[in-house]
């Protein structure tokens, strides 16, 4: 990544902290590049991390009912598609909003000064229009769900609006990101049930701690620049104690996910995830352990690699839930 930073000049159409060989530069016209960069389409890991709590919740919610030939316990494919579109749109809108708020800070940080707004390739007015367009796509997705889910989704906007300002006033901006990025853990359950439960709340809490963990790793890339411009973060707060903090954060994440699975099986339907879901958590624990062992907080390239590896963790948990539903359908528990 350092070589890429060095190769990006002030007049370049590329961004220093993003890969230069993605579909954005191959498939989109040059005029669209700055907007794709505002939405971070060239960095899909962001919308993937936003998507995973949605998909986990959408996969967990049906398993609170015992499977039958009619009710498979598998996630609703239409809901998965809607969450996918919504995650891309709302992550893009969130990044655009964040860049509007942080334009002056981004201009003072080496990794971000080549972004479209501080580099002058997009005007603030154009960025605001683009923000509204993405938000309308998110709204079009949201209204496909039930009324409770619609209202719940709208409530998330308050958290999103506050997040960019947290780094100025607290050492815990990653916690604010966790509240925003984990909202899908509530949405998947609400879309299926039209209400929330303890299971959804436990999944949400675990997702928040997971987000704090992976974004702490990400923030170590910027800690020197952040110190110069007065930006606060858990990376700066934890410092050399980051490994120990990650053990606590990731350990609590797994414990809360296991609790969410158990609570989902404690209702009158006497259902809940079967052993593959818990096996997925064990594999996920191994992946988290690998992140902690490999972490070198003074190696930005490795921090970025470990941050991105959380997309793999997302797949592990999701597939564990899918295989759980398939197992329960094939081998139902007899009363």
pLDDT above 70 (res 241): yes
- 13 pLDDT band (50/70/90 cuts)? confident
The alpha carbons of the chain give a radius of gyration, in whole angstroms, of 20
Give the pLDDT confidence score for residue 17 in this predicted structure. 66
Mean pLDDT of the region 245-264:
97
Q: How far apart are CA 63 and CA 74, in angstroms?
A: 7
Give the pLDDT confidence score for residue 10 in this predicted structure. 42
Q: Are 274 and 328 in contact (CB under 8 A)?
A: yes
- Contacts of range 196-201, beta carbons closer than 8 Å, 24 or more positions apart: 196/152, 197/64, 197/263, 197/264, 198/263, 199/60, 199/64, 199/260, 199/261, 199/263, 199/264, 200/57, 200/61, 200/260
Stretch among 1-15, 190-204, 272-286 having the lowest mean pLDDT? 1-15
Structure tokens at 242: 């980051």
Continuous segment of H or E residues that includes residue 69: none
Cα 119–Cα 121–Cα 122 angle in degrees, nearest 5: 110
Nearest alpha carbon to residue 62 among 333, 267, 315, 209 = 267
Q: How far apart are CA 215 and CA 220, in angstroms?
A: 9
Q: What is the mean pLDDT of the chain?
A: 91
CB-facing half-sphere around the CA of 109: CA atoms within 13 A: 23
> Does residue 3 sit within a domain?
no
Mean pLDDT of the region 143-170:
95
Helices (H), 74-146: 77-101, 103-106, 124-142
pLDDT in tens, 105-144: 888 877 788 899 999 999 999 999 999 999 999 999 999 9
Q: Are 60 and 260 in contact (CB under 8 A)?
A: yes
Instruction: Transcribe 209-257 into DSSP letters.
Output: HHHHHHHHHHHTTSHHHHHHHT---HHHHHGGGHHHHHHHHHHHHHHHH
Mean pLDDT of the region 219-244:
92
Give the pLDDT confidence score for residue 12 in this predicted structure. 62
pLDDT above 80 (res 221): yes
Give the pLDDT confidence score for residue 54 in this predicted structure. 98
pLDDT above 90 (res 182): yes
Q: How far apart are CA 249 and CA 107, in angstroms?
A: 32
Q: How far apart are CA 211 and CA 232, in angstroms?
A: 16
Mean pLDDT of the region 281-291:
98
pLDDT in tens, 90-104: 999 999 999 999 998
Mean pLDDT of the region 146-155:
98
What is the reported pTM?
0.92
User: Domain of 211?
Assistant: 31-330
| Total count of domains within the chain | 1
> Does residue 11 sit within a domain?
no
Give the pLDDT confidence score for residue 333 in this predicted structure. 65
> Does residue 268 sit within a domain?
yes
CATH, residue 268: 1.10.357.140
> Does residue 137 sit within a domain?
yes
Give the pLDDT confidence score for residue 3 in this predicted structure. 39
> Does residue 98 sit within a domain?
yes
Give the pLDDT confidence score for residue 301 in this predicted structure. 93
> Does residue 165 sit within a domain?
yes
């Amino acid at each position: 990544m350092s070589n890429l930073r060095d190769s990006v000049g002030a007049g370049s159409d590329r961004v220093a902290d993003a890969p230069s060989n993605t579909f954005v530069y191959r498939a989109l016209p040059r005029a669209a590049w700055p907007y794709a960069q505002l939405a971070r389409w060239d960095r899909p890991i962001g919308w993937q991390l936003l998507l995973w709590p949605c998909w986990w919740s959408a996969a967990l919610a049906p398993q609170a009912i015992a499977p039958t030939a009619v009710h498979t316990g598998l996630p609703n494919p239409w809901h998965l598609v809607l969450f996918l579109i919504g995650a891309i749109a709302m992550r893009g809108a969130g990044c655009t909003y964040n860049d509007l708020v942080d334009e002056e800070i981004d201009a003072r940080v080496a990794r971000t000064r080549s972004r479209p707004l501080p580099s002058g390739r997009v005007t603030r007015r154009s960025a605001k229009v683009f923000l509204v367009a993405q938000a309308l796509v998110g709204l079009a997705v949201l209204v496909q769900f039930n009324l409770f889910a619609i209202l719940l989704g709208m409530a998330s906007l308050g958290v999103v609006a506050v997040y960019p300002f947290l780094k100025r006033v607290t050492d815990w901006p990653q916690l604010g990101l966790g509240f925003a990025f984990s909202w899908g853990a509530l949405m998947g359950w609400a879309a299926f049930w039209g209400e929330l439960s303890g299971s959804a709340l436990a999944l949400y809490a675990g997702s928040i701690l997971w987000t704090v963990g992976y974004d702490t790793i990400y923030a170590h890339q910027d800690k020197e620049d952040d110190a110069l411009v007065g930006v606060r973060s858990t990376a700066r707060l934890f410092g050399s104690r980051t490994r120990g903090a990650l053990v606590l954060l990731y350990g609590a994440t797994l414990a809360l996910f296991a609790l969410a699975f158990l609570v989902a099986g404690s209702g009158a339907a006497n259902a809940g995830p079967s052993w593959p879901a818990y096996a997925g958590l064990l594999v996920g624990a191994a992946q988290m352990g690998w992140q902690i062992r490999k972490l070198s907080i003074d190696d930005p390239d490795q921090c970025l690699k470990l941050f991105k590896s959380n997309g793999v963790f997302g797949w592990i948990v999701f597939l564990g839930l899918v295989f759980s539903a398939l197992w329960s359908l094939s081998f139902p528990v007899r009363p």
